[in-house]
Amino acid sequence: MLLQRIFAAALLLVCAGLAAMAWPYQAAFSYEPVGPRAFPLLMLALMGVGLIYMILRPSPVVHSEEDPKLDRQTLTKIALCVLLLLVFAGTFEPLGFILSSLLIGIPMARLYGGRWLSSIVIISLVSIGLYLLFDKAMEVHLPLGVLDILEN
């Protein structure tokens, strides 16, 4: 219990430091309705509220028998997820949102038991749908990358 509270307190300090770094940020131009500072500050505030709860809660987190074990297979899945997210971050600009989402989404779906056909179809629809939602409906422009020829 004490280690959980210490971890939460340390992470709360990290969140406070990141919020202090993000607070004075002003972009030369704003391409989003709320500006580039709002999202990280909102996420840090939500994390802070959760961490304060972790510090103050009266009872420890108790794991039951139904919780998945932290065995080699689970750790391998976690490592592959982190690797896929790094690939997404690296390919987001050059390949664009849709292709980079396909590149990491299909292996991620397969990693968690999806069949090939359903993974390809669902990830394709979600990638295109999210692109249209962000770009057209919310006017948050996402890169198209190599699919830039499709624009206009």
Most confident residue range from 5-14, 19-28, 54-63: 5-14
Do 123 and 107 contact (CB within 8 A), yes or no?
no
Dihedral sign from CA coordinates of 34, 38, 39, 45: negative
pLDDT for the residue numbered 34? 63
pLDDT for the residue numbered 140? 77
pLDDT in tens, 27-83: 666 565 666 677 788 889 999 999 999 889 877 667 778 877 778 988 999 999 999
pTM strictly above 0.85: no
CA distances from 95 to 42, 106, 112 (A): 28, 16, 24
Residue boundaries of the structural domains of the chain: 1-62, 68-152
